[in-house]
Amino acid sequence: MGANYRMVTAASGGEGARRMYAVIMAGGRGERFWPRSRKQFPKQFLPLTGRRTMIQMTYDRLRGLIPPERIIVVTGSDLAGLVAEQLTELPRENILVEPVGRNTAPCAGLAAVVIESRDPEAVIAVLPADHQITDQDGFQGLLRVASALAREHAAPVTLGINPTYPETGYGYIQAGEPLSPQSQARWVERFVEKPSLEKAREYLATGNFYWNSGMFIWHVRTIRRLIAEFLPEVDRGLERIKEAWGTPSAAKVMAAEFSRFPSVSVDYGLLEKTPRIVVIPADIGWDDVGHWTAVSRLSSCDQDGNVIEGNVIAIDTKDSLISGHDRLIAAVGVKDVIIVESEDAVLICAKDRVQDVRQVLSKLRERGLKQYL
Amino acid sequence: MGANYRMVTAASGGEGARRMYAVIMAGGRGERFWPRSRKQFPKQFLPLTGRRTMIQMTYDRLRGLIPPERIIVVTGSDLAGLVAEQLTELPRENILVEPVGRNTAPCAGLAAVVIESRDPEAVIAVLPADHQITDQDGFQGLLRVASALAREHAAPVTLGINPTYPETGYGYIQAGEPLSPQSQARWVERFVEKPSLEKAREYLATGNFYWNSGMFIWHVRTIRRLIAEFLPEVDRGLERIKEAWGTPSAAKVMAAEFSRFPSVSVDYGLLEKTPRIVVIPADIGWDDVGHWTAVSRLSSCDQDGNVIEGNVIAIDTKDSLISGHDRLIAAVGVKDVIIVESEDAVLICAKDRVQDVRQVLSKLRERGLKQYL
């Protein structure tokens, strides 16, 4: 497939890539990676699966396709410093700060109006800051194709990941007709929220369902049109932000508008309501690295199935992730456990319960232990 | 039984208690309680099952029976300071320092010669510093009886614990004939090393086997005679120590003799070879508190079966011991686990593997990580 797409690219992707922008969404809090991921130092700034951090790898992945001046990072005000520190080549003016987080739809909208003022013919690839993709060439090839299709059809394009097992933690995309007889890209039939295990198995069996990767490619006019249609109050706010952009009142207008925006995702607020969306099947070594067990799966393990880093002594310990910070960690006779130590906290979590790390954060909030968040 | 023995006491125990000494053996390193128990701060100095430390509770337990001036503590040179700190009423000259640890036989021998020089008619109760006994009255009653019997029969007396389950981690004592028709005290048939589970079950079924508690009561002449008979080289060394005691060369002689002593236990080196030993069945709430799971068993737990201390958040966590030091510990979805945090280390151990904490210490030695021992 990669080769096939690279041929398409050579034929039609030239302009697409030239006027292509990337928007890296880096406002998440990575709660499931507590205690390493913290409110003030979340997941995307951690080197979870390699030596570079998640956002650095997301940025690196665009090298050769999109230059730094066309990469935009959207993040929270308390995280902008980390973005600048970790992405040293990124022009400072390309870091957009959301006054408050309002999920992905307002985030994508903000990026759209800022990019629109630079190039009203831009195609934008919206990318989460904290995913892993091992096939960089395949990924870039798909972005070129997606860009061309987004321009040609004036429709949003999503990358749909070929599912390899019945994951219940992802949304799915049901694919319908191909765009053309030769095309691997297909029209989206519907978006499906996280399914039950039974449903997930059914989806897998049909061969027509893809994991929703959260990566979207659209012409700036397309996203603005969708927001105007389905989130008109956000659209009006974005207009006011666009007008104020670059003036002394920009910050004030941003704060006022964002505080009024609903918290709504691109999927739920826009795409699920849109009839014409393209999905491109993507086989690019993607993983959303959603929790500690994913890190464990994506890292190379020893002969006992363990992933170990830091100052660790493991005795008869199997299929576990042990990540030390500065203390010695000794594990004896445990299996399928995640052990993560940070400066001020230690997590011990059953591997099949990593989704519930969020409950720890709820408890911390309940007890007013903000220093651990 | 307690009441029965207290009657005997009133009749014959007066002199026994009056000339009775206690020797608290406090030289152990408590390796299975790592990382809380450390070479320089071992188990007996920790408050594992209450607010007082193990050695303090051992000392308190003698109150009313044996006054401080007749309580001797034998320990290592690096631990003598801790003994003095924790047992403030103990006369400093009652802290005996072994130049090197040589297991319990030389330890008991050293105490014997020191006590002999104070009172050649003394009866000595040798007691581990780190066990738990919940029935203090019953315990003191038994010591009175044991003292009287030790004097009357010129034989070592042991306290044999009524076994409640087929423990494979203890030695057993097989009891034979009663000393007299009315006596609950019996002659020892034999000592048995830690048995297999099958054997332990057999022992339990017969009703004639007791756990070896490691508590011995003997006349000072009895222990000296046994050492002379079965460990003659130790006896000669002890004689030289006795001669030098109180002179400027005492420390030098002690160091020289102890370095020559074999490392040998009272059980193996003396009692297993002795034909006439008394065992008194003891039902006094004894526990050797041998490992973290014992602590967990002996502490009051919450409705999920957890014993929790420190700064801990436990979510769907069952039948576990979590002991925090200063960091926050969060446990999610784990069961039957021991989690112990200390200033520089964290232990995560399956409850049925607590015996193997020692393996961690072996690894630490192997890797030259002495600072964690």
Range B261-270 average pLDDT: 95
Residue B95 is encoded by which pair of tokens?
A: 């802290």
Contact A339, A321 (CB under 8 A): yes
Question: Which of the four pLDDT bands, split at 50, 70 and 90, describes residue A115?
Answer: very high
Q: Over the stretch B300-326, which tens digit does the pLDDT of each residue have?
A: 999 999 999 999 999 999 999 999 999
Contact B363, A313 (CB under 8 A): yes
Contact A58, A49 (CB under 8 A): no
- Answer yes or no: do B235 and B333 share one domain: no
Query: Who's near A198: CB < 8 A, 6+ residues apart?
Result: none
- Answer yes or no: do B258 and B311 share one domain: no
CA atoms within a 13 Å half-sphere pointing along the CA-CB vector of A23: 32
Please judge whether B341 and A346 are an interchain contact, meaning their C-beta atoms are less than 8 angstroms apart: yes
pLDDT of residue A18: 73
Output the CA–CA distances (angstroms, integers) from residue B315 to A363, A364, A367, B94, B256, in the order listed.
9, 12, 14, 49, 56
Output the CA–CA distances (angstroms, integers) from residue B38 to A78, B29, B149, B324, B354, in the order listed.
42, 7, 39, 16, 16
pLDDT score of B12 more than 50: no
Between chain A and chain B, the number of residue pairs with CB atoms below 8 A apart is: 116
User: B345 at the A interface (CB within 8 A)?
Assistant: yes
Please judge whether A345 and B364 are an interchain contact, meaning their C-beta atoms are less than 8 angstroms apart: no
Q: Over the stretch A76-86, which tens digit does the pLDDT of each residue have?
A: 999 999 999 99
Length of chain B: 373
Contact B148, B12 (CB under 8 A): yes
pLDDT score of A2 more than 50: no
| Residue A328: domain span | 292-372
CATH of the domain at B198: 3.90.550.10
Question: Which of the four pLDDT bands, split at 50, 70 and 90, describes residue B18?
Answer: confident
- Answer yes or no: do A188 and A207 share one domain: yes
Give the end of a domain, one of B235, B252, B287: B287
- Answer yes or no: do A193 and A279 share one domain: yes
Q: Over the stretch A24-74, which tens digit does the pLDDT of each residue have?
A: 999 999 999 999 999 999 999 999 988 999 999 999 999 999 999 999 999
Q: Over the stretch A317-364, which tens digit does the pLDDT of each residue have?
A: 999 999 999 999 999 999 999 999 999 999 999 999 999 999 999 999
pLDDT of residue B50: 86
pLDDT of residue A16: 53
- Answer yes or no: do A206 and A348 share one domain: no
Cβ contacts of A347 on chain B, cutoff 8 Å? 330-332
Question: Which of the four pLDDT bands, split at 50, 70 and 90, describes residue B233?
Answer: very high
User: A347 at the B interface (CB within 8 A)?
Assistant: yes
- Please name the helix (run of DSSP H) or strand (run of DSSP E) that holds residue B126, with its range, or none: strand B123-128
Choose the closest CB to B330 out of A315, A330, A360: A360
- Answer yes or no: do B216 and B79 share one domain: yes
Choose the closest CB to A356 out of B332, B354, B356: B332
Range A221-231 average pLDDT: 98
pLDDT of residue B66: 97
Q: Over the stretch A254-295, which tens digit does the pLDDT of each residue have?
A: 999 999 999 999 999 999 999 999 999 999 999 999 999 999
Range B40-61 average pLDDT: 96
Give the end of a domain, one of A262, A287, A312: A287
**Which of A293, A332, A356 is best to mutate for the B interface (most B CBs within 10 A)?**
A332
pLDDT score of A15 more than 70: no
Range A112-128 average pLDDT: 97
pLDDT of residue B17: 67
- Answer yes or no: do A333 and A223 share one domain: no
| Percent residues over pLDDT 70 in chain A | 95
| Total domains present in chain B | 2
- Answer yes or no: do A212 and A249 share one domain: yes
Give the end of a domain, one of A223, A252, A287: A287
First to last CA, chain A: 43
pTM above 0.80, yes or no: yes
Contact A207, A95 (CB under 8 A): no
| CA dihedral of B361, B365, B371, B372, whole degrees rounded to 10 | -20
Please judge whether A360 and B333 are an interchain contact, meaning their C-beta atoms are less than 8 angstroms apart: no
Contact A158, A124 (CB under 8 A): no
- Answer yes or no: do A147 and A76 share one domain: yes
Enter the ipTM: 0.87
User: A197 at the B interface (CB within 8 A)?
Assistant: no
Q: Report the C-alpha gap between A38 and B311 in whole angstroms.
A: 18
- Answer yes or no: do A230 and A367 share one domain: no
- Answer yes or no: do B238 and B110 share one domain: yes
User: B331 at the A interface (CB within 8 A)?
Assistant: yes
- Answer yes or no: do A176 and A300 share one domain: no
